[in-house]
Chains A and B, each alone.
Chain A
Amino acid sequence: MSAKEHIQSLLKEAEIYRSQGLFDQSKEKYIEILEYIEKNKVALKDNKIIDAIKEKIREVDEKLTEIEESTDTPELAQEVQSLISNLFSFSKNKDTAAIEGAVAMAKFGQYEKALEEFEMLINEGALPLMAAMNMLRCHLSLATPEAAITQFKRWVSRDELGQGDLRYLRNFISDQLEKRGIKTELPQVGEIISGEKKTEEVDEGVLDLSSIGIELESGPRQGDMVEFDVTFQSGNTVSVIIPSKQKDMADLFKPGSQLSKVQCCSALAVFNSCGQVAGISKIESGPNRGNYSLDITITEE
């Protein structure tokens, strides 16, 4: 292959990569051409070809910068937002599904719309703690911690949420602000009222969990850590799904039995804890029909 043919072949390759959107690879090929010309002292009539290749590298660099700097989360049309909300809410329970839909919108960067949805859920009294926590997360993701603080103060002043919920939220936002190096005075929430459920005291320490790992203490997989997505959480009790085909595993979890090693994963941290099987039941209807719903109460180590 002559030098000219080799250059043409590299050029063709670079052009195709570019047309495929493989800009890094395209740039590498253009550079390879320049290096080949220099290394082999290829005789050229003039510098036009070198200039043209340098121009192509510049154009590819522009494309790469454009991709790098493109907005990751543009505001989507309302119908697309609704579609996201519908497609990513899986629960048959209306309130849980509404939370899932709003969380999906937040995860896709549609924070303003998600905030509206969470606010509506709080007003309707639908899983208010989950909704409120996610509202605060939205404000923090939007890098507007002051909005999160204002929101929290409003809840405290208007007594829109229960005392237990407010205490939990205060701990949550306080941790988040501390991590961001923000010092602020948050309003105190009333002291624990005597007669309040004791579990609420425990609730304060349990974060919003996304998944848990449980070390199996018996059965053929004894010692294995199995991971489960948390499908629902109320205070320190989480629900996870065990597929019907893993009936043998489901049978290992007897109500009341202790779990000595539970790895808890939240957006904030991963930590080891203990647990107790609060209940297990076969799901009789809905998309998870036939699977098992396992409830675990997370206890302190």
Chain B
Amino acid sequence: MAVFNVRERVIECKLVFYGPGRCGKTTNLEYIYKAGKKYTTSDMVSIDTKGDRTLFFDFLPIGLGKIKGCEVTVQLYTVPGQQKYSSTRKMVLKNVDGVVFVADSLEVRRKANVISLKDLQQNLAEQNMNIFKIPLIFQYNKRDLGAEGLPILPIEVMEKDLNGKLKVPYCEASALKGDGVGATLKKCLALTLSHLQKELQWSR
């Protein structure tokens, strides 16, 4: 749950980029860090292994300035995608306010997407949160690989696989090129802040 300092009118919320291993979560954060330098409030912290796999989490704090009379800061996190880091994912999800689920468009990752989404649902439930109620956005990443002749999943299939019941907004993206990264973040922030506005009864 976001931290709301009523006296100083400061709101600090937490967004987590979730998804299977190698789907591009860290690439999203790296792009946000490079492209949004003026919004970042400190360096991006990234702890990875030799194979560029996220080991613990990536962390990037950004400042959004004043919104409805409150200074809003956002902490962006990624989780390690590999299945073996389940306890780290649970830890990073603690007190989350909004989630970007980065799904891999490659056909060969279809099953991994579904497994990771189930893992998200379970980990949210363990902290008494409901995947149907939390602000959530899907990002269908690596769309550019279709043009390179690689088999990618049609959007309709990804929607059916992942978003059939949830019916949340989605963005197509190519995080490596930066396409769709900003749009995903904007959508997730809008959804999360509107949710928090109701929860915290935050107004001018």
Interface positions of A (Cβ within 8 A of B): 9, 12-13, 16-17, 20-22, 25, 28, 63, 66-67, 70-72, 74, 76, 80, 83-84, 87-88, 90, 104, 107-108, 211, 226-229, 241, 243-245, 287-291
Contact = CB atoms under 8 A, between A and B. Distances in A.
A80 B23 CA distance: 25
Given A22-B109, A66-B51, A87 B59 contact: yes
Given A20-B142, A243-B1, 5 more contacts: A13-B149, A13-B150, A70-B49, A70-B50, A287-B4
Interface of B: 1-4, 6, 21-22, 45, 47, 49-53, 55-56, 59, 75, 84, 87-88, 91, 94-95, 106, 108-109, 125-128, 142, 145, 148-151, 199-201
A288 B1 contact: yes
Given A17-B108, A229-B128, A108 B88 contact: yes
Contact of B91 (A22, A108, A287): A108
Contacts of B126: 211, 227, 229
Contact of A107 (B22, B51, B87): B87
Nearest to A244: B199
Contacts of A244: 199
Given A90-B95, A108-B56, A229-B127, A21 B22 contact: yes
Contact of B59 (A12, A66, A83, A243): A83
A12 B150 CA distance: 9
B22 to A, nearest CB: 5
A87 B95 CA distance: 11
A25 B108 contact: yes
A22 B108 contact: yes
A80 B43 CA distance: 12
Nearest to A77: B47
Nearest to A71: B49
A30 B86 CA distance: 30
Contacts of B55: 72, 74
Contacts of B88: 107-108
Closest A-B pairs by Cβ, 9 of them: A287-B3, A25-B108, A21-B22, A70-B49, A67-B51, A229-B127, A107-B91, A228-B128, A22-B22
B94 A76 contact: no
A18 B75 CA distance: 31
B1 A291 contact: yes
A24 to B, nearest CB: 9
A253 B125 CA distance: 21
Contacts of B45: 80, 83
Residue in B75, B109, B128, B200 with the greatest tally of chain A CB atoms within 10 Å: B128
Contacts of A9: 149
B4 A76 contact: no
Contacts of B75: 87
A12 B151 CA distance: 12
Contacts of B150: 13, 16
A189 B112 CA distance: 52
Given A25-B108, A66-B51, A20 B22 contact: yes
Given A22-B106, A22-B108, A107-B88, A289 B4 contact: yes
5 contacts: A67-B50, A76-B47, A228-B128, A287-B1, A287-B3
B128 A226 contact: yes
Nearest to A288: B1
Given A76-B47, A83-B45, A16 B22 contact: no
A80 to B, nearest CB: 7
Contacts of B145: 16
A104 B88 CA distance: 10
Contacts of A287: 1-4, 95
B151 to A, nearest CB: 8
B199 A245 contact: yes
A2 to B, nearest CB: 16
A28 B199 CA distance: 49
A169 B202 CA distance: 45
A70 B108 contact: no
B128 A227 contact: yes
A88 B22 contact: no
A228 B22 CA distance: 32
Contacts of A243: 1, 128
B51 A70 contact: yes
A96 B6 CA distance: 22
Contact of A67 (B53, B59, B91, B151): B53
A74 B87 CA distance: 16
Contacts of B21: 21
A290 to B, nearest CB: 8
